[in-house]
Chain A
Amino acid sequence: MKGLLLCAALALTASAQVPYDLIRKGPGNDWLTYAGDYAAQRHSPLAQITRDNVPTLVPKWVYHVEKSSHLEATPLVHDGIMYVTDSNQVHALDARTGRRIWMYLDGQAKRSDVNRGAALLDDRLFFVTSDGHLVALNRKTGAVLWDKEYADTKKGEFATLAPLAVRDRIIVGVSGGDTGNRGFVAAHAAATGEQLWRFYTIPEKGKPGSETWGDFDVQWGGAATWLSGTFDPDLNLVYWTTGNPWPDFYGGDRKGDNLYSASLLALDLDTGKLKWYFQFTPHDTHDWDAQAWPVLLDIPIEGRMRKVVVHANRNGFFYVLDRATGEFLRATPYVDQLTWAKGVDAKGRPIVIPDTDPTPDGRLACPNIRGASNWMSPSFNPATGLFYVPTLEGCDVYTSSTKKGEPMKGYGGTGTAPSGDAKFYLRALDPRTGKKRWEYPMTGLATMWAGTVSTAGGVVFFGDDDGQLVALDAKSGKHLWHFYMGQPLTASPITYQVDGKQYVTIASATDVFTFGLFEPAVSVPLVRERVEP
């Protein structure tokens, strides 16, 4: 009898849980991790919404997040419940109706910043507070299981990212590189919050790589880790990007390549040891963080199937690397306006055009400070073979100063001023060749931070620069549908299915919008309701 009970309890738990193996499978009806799957392809197998019926997509519900400055979260969905984060808070919603089931708010957090989302694992939800606490909640009730401070606000560290839940651990990074703080990637035990390992993105003095900083104090070199990462279960490698070196615009005091800033790191999941790295922009002086998604693909390159990682970098090049070894395979410009380098050499190092560094009087360079792309999520559709990436064509005048900066004082070695109009496009790149197959131009002020989601229905959804969710034909880039949400978009859409119905969700500045195929309303009879004394 006892055995039977245990069995029943296990069965019950298993259905409601989010085991690691389920996340590994990628998105089915659910959306279980920020980027859809560990490879960050953001491609859903759902095909109820197709290029033929997407014109009948209508709003199903809107959830308002009170006092939000702007939502940047990718929602997660499991078991009919949607999880959305904002600064120091998590909202659990009925994914069919948008009604709130529970909310967690950390009123004691010492900082308030944007938040990009949560992670699910087993019966738990994980998120970070702005002041760098990793928090574990019961997925169904929002009850807090543990709260672990992992970043130090006194050192200028803070947190905005969606954690990455892998196997039995939660991987986090840290913000604050623009005021000097030294970045790190850390793994914490999902069960207790205990730190398992921590990898600093700038090697300490005397360790390999530290010689790329000259005499600079590497404690304040930047290279933050503010975006979540990806994971290859077979190679057991976590891929994480690093930010710009500090001070952002003046490199005279940090002579050398400044490892491992503006790089992609491949870290062993078990130990946090660096397996390989690839630096996209050595000695960056344009604030071109490498924070764009490292997307894992298995594709033919020059006739041979390769396990690669592709990366649309802020510096204007679209990279393809071997993800087991870090070997450079190809880099192609994916913007027309690229003035700082004439290409890359055989090892992928940019061939920098002389006199493109910022100066006290200002110097024009393209891409602009936001970069050719940024943390907005790209997606990949295996059926079309295309990689969809929000792309920005723009230039800035970059200025610098030799004034010695003090860390944590908001000094970046000065900054930028826009030069001419910048313009967003959704570009479809073929990762096998690096060539652009089509593009969809956007109107707007070049201020959005919205990404994409790809679906097996042959539709790619993205947030545009005017505050509209747009559906395009994934193959041709032809417009199929759009909806204006009245607010700027700073998040990426997802898609999921509950009770046999497919939905598409995106957060606008202060609201979560969910869309589904049109169905005529059905009258709902009032149910008898009473209060027992």
Chain B
Amino acid sequence: MKTRLLVFVMTALSAVPAPAQDQKEPEDVKNPLAGQVAAVTAGKQLFVEGCSGCHGTNAEGGRGPNLSQGDLIRGATNRHLFAAIKTGVKGTEMPPSALPDEKIWQMVTFLRDLTSPAFDSHVAGDADAGGGLFFGKAGCSTCHMIRGRGGYLGPDLSNIGRARTLPQLQESLVTPNAKITEGFRGVTVTMRDGKNISGVAKDNTNYAIAVLDAKGELHRLLKQDLREVVFRGKSLMPADYKQKLSSDEIGNLLAFLSRQSLRPPDLKSDSTAGTKEDSK
């Protein structure tokens, strides 16, 4: 499966014929700037100047594909990423670049940083201050739990630095209504006796609904006992963090969230080829 996916991505990126299954892929080249913070910053600048016209300012896609999510970048080797930028992608609108190799590696470093789990990304900001905000003024822990501390209604964030990329974290924090995770939709049910129960719907069918309330009580209700079910159209997550918090505070919060990992960093990670030297 992994091999097939990789072959597909390589084909998409370089428009070269896929190697036969039994043909051994040559060992990937090393990114000389892997993990360097200055290269991430420089690469981002280069990306905004030269690539964002097609791929979007945050690599979210436009005329060109979305590079911030999925396996297009994550699944590609350094060799293919470098070649796609340097020589362009045949048969597509992706042009070659005249930039020197070092600058191309800076862009590769930026793209790697963008698509790695937030834990492996360079996140500017004060994680300790972010923790203070999470459990304090920002009110995140009213709904979210980290290692058993916090509320019940939102998704557990104990491993969120590993589970999400930085752009995904940013999106959830600043534009929470873009996506409501299944199992976390706000709901109020009215029982036949008029009693209301509010919380999030963990499951809903025509015959039963499971509602988790803010106290952590789970109500497993049969629809035959209910009069009405009202879902919230919007996410329970406040949508005004951009107004409520300064950009520094948002940066601190993102830094804190990106550090949330259940397992310690694994330097000997055997994940997809090409990402090895990027692990921290």
Contact = CB atoms under 8 A, between A and B. Distances in A.
Interface in B159-188: 159, 162-163, 183
A174 B233 CA distance: 48
Interface in B207-265: 207-208, 210, 212, 215-218, 220, 222-224, 226-234, 262-263
A240 B145 CA distance: 36
Given A140-B218, A143-B156, A531 B231 contact: yes
Contacts of A101: 202-203, 210, 218, 220
Contacts of A529: 228-231
Contacts of B262: 106, 108, 144, 147
A145 interface: yes
B233 A16 contact: no
Which of B152, B156, B159, B270 is the most central at the interface, judged by chain A CB atoms within 10 Å of its CB? B156
A106 B263 CA distance: 10
B147 A108 contact: no
Given A99-B203, A101-B210, A12 B217 contact: yes
Contact of A108 (B156, B162, B202): B162
A192 to B, nearest CB: 10
A527 B230 CA distance: 10
Given A143-B158, A528-B229, A533-B233, 12 more contacts: A96-B208, A97-B207, A101-B220, A138-B145, A140-B212, A140-B218, A146-B148, A524-B206, A526-B206, A527-B226, A527-B227, A533-B234
A501 interface: no
B147 A532 contact: no
7 contacts: A16-B217, A81-B220, A100-B203, A138-B216, A140-B217, A143-B156, A528-B229
A106 B163 CA distance: 10
B216 A141 contact: yes
Interface in A397-417: none
Q: Which bracket fits the contact residues of A?
A: 35 or more
Contacts of A110: 270
Nearest to B203: A99
Contact of A99 (B208, B228, B232): B208
Interface of A: 12, 16, 80-81, 94, 96-97, 99-102, 106-108, 110, 133, 138, 140-147, 149, 522, 524-533
A528 B228 contact: yes
B3 interface: no
B208 A94 contact: yes
Nearest to A526: B206
A143 B153 CA distance: 11
Nearest to B223: A527
B205 interface: yes
Given A12-B217, A97-B208, A100-B203, A141 B158 contact: no
Given A101-B202, A525-B224, A527-B228, A532 B145 contact: no
Contacts of A532: 230-233
Contact of B203 (A80, A94, A524): A94
B223 A94 contact: no
A100 B202 CA distance: 8
A96 B218 CA distance: 14
Contact of B183 (A102, A108, A140): A102
Contacts of B208: 94, 96-97, 99
B195 to A, nearest CB: 15
A108 B148 CA distance: 20
A525 B207 CA distance: 9
A140 B230 CA distance: 23
Contacts of B232: 531-532
Given A99-B205, A529-B231, A531-B233, A140 B152 contact: yes
B229 A527 contact: yes
B167 to A, nearest CB: 19
B263 A147 contact: yes
A144 B150 CA distance: 12
B183 A80 contact: no
A524 B217 contact: no
A500 B180 CA distance: 36
Contacts of A107: 163
Contacts of B270: 110
A143 B229 contact: no
Contacts of B152: 140-141, 143
A288 to B, nearest CB: 35
List the 3 closest pairs (A to B, CB-CB), nearest first: A143-B156, A145-B148, A147-B262
Which of A102, A133, A138, A143 has the most CB atoms of chain B within a 10 A radius of its CB? A143
